[in-house]
């Protein structure tokens, strides 16, 4: 560009059509009037588009809120005479929106009855690839795979190949699970432990679970004695052979 020659017009939409700005070397130059924007027929205007996007964002937020897990704080004084385990346990249990209270009560009992170093609750129903409870050694290797409910044979077959101990605690009729697994291929089926609780124990426990609870639990000779908020519950735990 030659000296004193005006540069090409700039396109600055926020200035008036007759506005001028200093040139980079000297002089001034006019700003070209911006072209009018024409909306195509059938497209959304700015206000309508903003409203539509706001609705999408709001629905997504509401969806995330609706799927948020509920947190339960549980303190357990455990005396497992059968295994010689006597810990004080503080748990923060996340209850998935699709999780039944009976399922969570069974998950709590399974955690206490399997309690050992390296035990932890998993994402549970939020992650279908993990069991409800897992035990890992110091290297991170899975040493126990604990299911809750009615896992299928393929899941137990895979678990039994992965972990030395596999157990299932069910809050349903154990006969349903046994019939479901009958004749199916399961690695080391004879070592898979399936447990159920007698009577209405799980249902009664589920009815008394609140967002913050304290429990004392005694286990002796496969009998369970539990106190929750001053309410005494008892049952027996039964192991069902798979093979």
Task: Tell me the pLDDT tens digit for each residue of 190-205.
Answer: 999 999 999 999 999 9
What's the confidence (pLDDT) of residue 199? 92
Distance CA(2)–CA(213), nearest Å, equals: 84
pLDDT of residue 47: 60
Please tell me the CATH code under which domain 69-240 is placed.
3.10.640.10
Each domain of the chain, given as residue ranges in start order, spans: 39-68, 69-240
What global pTM score does this model have? 0.72
Question: Which residues of the chain, if any, have pLDDT below 50?
Answer: 2, 7-32, 34, 37, 52-53, 56-66
Say if CB 208 and CB 228 are below 8 A apart: yes
């Amino acid at each position: 560009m030659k000296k004193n020659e005006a540069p090409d017009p700039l396109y600055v939409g926020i200035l008036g059509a007759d506005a001028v700005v200093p040139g980079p070397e000297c002089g001034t130059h006019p700003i070209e009037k911006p072209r009018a924007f024409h909306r195509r027929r059938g497209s959304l205007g700015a206000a309508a588009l903003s409203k539509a996007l706001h609705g999408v964002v709001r629905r997504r937020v509401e969806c995330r809120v609706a799927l948020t897990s509920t947190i339960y704080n549980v303190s357990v004084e455990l005396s497992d005479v059968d295994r010689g385990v006597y810990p004080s346990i503080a748990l923060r249990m996340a209850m998935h929106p699709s999780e039944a209270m009976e399922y969570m009560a069974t998950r709590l009992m399974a955690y206490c009855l399997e309690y050992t170093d390296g035990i932890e609750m998993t994402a549970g129903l939020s992650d279908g690839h993990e069991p409800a409870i897992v035990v890992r050694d110091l290297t991170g290797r899975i040493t126990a795979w604990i299911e809750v409910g009615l896992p299928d044979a393929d899941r137990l077959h895979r678990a039994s190949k992965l972990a030395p101990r596999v157990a299932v605690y069910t809050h349903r009729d154990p006969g349903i699970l046994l019939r479901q697994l009958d004749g199916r291929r399961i690695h080391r089926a004879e070592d898979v432990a399936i447990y159920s609780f007698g009577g209405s124990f799980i249902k009664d426990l589920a009815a008394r679970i609140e967002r913050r609870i304290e429990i004392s639990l005694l286990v002796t000779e496969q009998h369970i004695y539990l106190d929750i908020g001053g309410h005494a519950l008892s049952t027996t735990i039964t192991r069902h052979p798979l093979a």
